[in-house]
Copies of this chain bind each other. A is one copy, B any other.
């Protein structure tokens, strides 16, 4: 399957972005392709995408190399260390701790923590300030996976290439492990001992309170849970789900936590209100982007490559972007979202914005 995007940030350890070509930015609008041939379409896609990346790179002035693979790899190691330390192995109640660790340390990509740390960095805060928040967003993400996979919900047996939590530990423990991960995320963020000693003693507590509020809001009836409720309502219905409703599901089920990850990092890092709002817009675009790419991967990749049951959305008759728009239009939409996201990074320090720029590219072009 040929990808419409020729650029993949993880293809090589070091990524070299091309300098801006004059006039390239002009194609960044939302074009209509309904009548173009597939070949011309793909060609256009490639050209347009190159232009977006070039524009983004120039606006963030990442004309020199940025070691994205190294950046995200180091953050994943640090986050995994924090997560590992947060839940004692073998201590009673051992089954619960084991189940929490099994779900949490299953080797996810740690995209949300990386976004949180990078957002803290882009507003000028040491990334270490956001490490407790980064660990917390991963706990919340894992908790939502554990509960969504339950037999009474999506009934999924495979996650991150391994049997799901309830398959291994049973349904009651899976419910309780999710609850414990959810409360642990707040405990972890509220624990003074988890923060480095150089946080501003006067401003830090109010930032933590605000960040906790953001995290909490993205979980419940304005976030993850709301998305899952509407998703459940849509599953198995014979009527075609309108695009509007599909976006509601994705904005709540996926984008809300990605948004919170970025915004929390910016709050903890001491960002101004204007910076926080720009990063919120960045995060909203990549949030929807994340889900569009997920939907595309579901129809183009095998279960082995994804580490979860592929084609499941189609099999269970779920509405997805490819089903609703077709594969090409879905990819086009993804490009538009990537362009929207990178535009929001224009006003930041170019070197400090590099991680968020590359994270957006990574989310657009990941292969699983």
Q: Which residues of A contact B (CB under 8 A)?
A: 87, 92-93, 95-97, 100, 143, 147, 150, 152-153, 171-173, 175-176, 178-184, 186-187, 190-192, 202, 205-206, 208-210, 212-213, 215-217, 219-221, 223-226, 228-230, 232-233
Contact A212 B225 (CB under 8 A): no
Chain B residues with Cβ below 8 Å from A202 are 202
Residues of B within 8 A of A205 (CB): 205-206, 208-209
Q: Is the CB of A213 within 8 A of B187?
A: yes
- A-B contact list, 7 entries, CB within 8 Å: A93-B229, A95-B233, A96-B225, A153-B172, A181-B220, A182-B182, A187-B216
Residues A182 and B179 in contact in the complex (CB < 8 Å), given A190-B216, A221-B93: yes
CA distance A39 to B147 in the complex (A): 54
Asked if residues B172 and A220 are in contact (CB atoms below 8 Å), the reply is no
Chain B residue contacts of A95, Cβ below 8 A: 229, 233
User: In the complex, A215→B187 CA distance in Å?
Assistant: 8
B96–A229 contact, CB under 8 A? yes
Copies of this chain, tallied across the complex:
2
**Other 5 A-B pairs with CB < 8 A, given A96-B221, A187-B213, A192-B209:** A93-B230, A150-B175, A183-B223, A186-B216, A209-B209
Q: B226, A96: Cβ atoms under 8 Å?
A: yes
In the bound assembly, the distance between CA atoms of A183 and B226 in angstroms comes to 12
Interchain CA distance A95-B184 in the complex, whole Å: 27
Separation of A221 and B179 alpha carbons in the complex (Å): 9
* Measured CA separation A133–B236 after assembly (Å): 40
For residue A115, give the distance in angstroms from its CB to the closest CB of chain B. 20
Contacts of A92 in B (CB 8 A): 226, 230
Return the contact of A178 from the options B96, B179, B181 (Cβ within 8 A).
B179
Contact between chains at B209 and A179 (CB < 8 Å) = no
> How far is A175 from B92 in the complex, measured between Cα atoms in Å?
25
Chain B nearest CB from A211 CB (Å) reads 8
A50 smallest CB distance to B (angstroms): 41
A220 touches B183 (CB 8 A): yes
Query: Would A152 and B180 count as touching, CB distance under 8 A?
Result: no
A219 in contact with B171 given A96-B225, A209-B209, A230-B93 (CB within 8 Å) = no
Residues of B within 8 Å of A206, CB to CB, are 205
Give the contacting residue for A221; candidates B87, B191, B224, B226; CB below 8 A: B87
Minimum CB distance partner of A91 in chain B: B221
Nearest residue, chain B, Cβ from A178:
B179
A302→B327 CA distance, assembly (Å):
62
A237 to chain B, nearest CB (A): 15
Nearest-Cβ distance from residue A140 to partner chain B, whole angstroms: 8
Contact for A175 among B93, B153, B208, B230, CB less than 8 A: B153
Complex CA–CA separation, A191 to B192 (angstroms): 19
B93:A180 contact, CB within 8 angstroms: no
- Shortest Cβ gap from A29 to chain B (Å): 32
User: Is the beta-carbon distance between B87 and A176 smaller than 8 angstroms?
Assistant: no
Chain B nearest CB from A345 CB (Å) reads: 28
Which single member of B179, B213, B226, B228 contacts A147 (CB below 8 Å)? B179
Is A212 within 8 A of B186, CB to CB?
yes
Q: Is the CB of B190 within 8 A of A220?
A: no
Q: Are A220 and B179 in contact (CB under 8 A)?
A: yes
With a cutoff of 8 Å between Cβ atoms, the chain B residues found around residue A216 in the complex are 183-184, 186-187, 190
Nearest-neighbour CB distance to chain B for A236, whole angstroms, equals 13
Which B-chain residue is minimally distant from A97 (CB atoms)?
B221
A191 CB contacts on chain B under 8 angstroms: 213
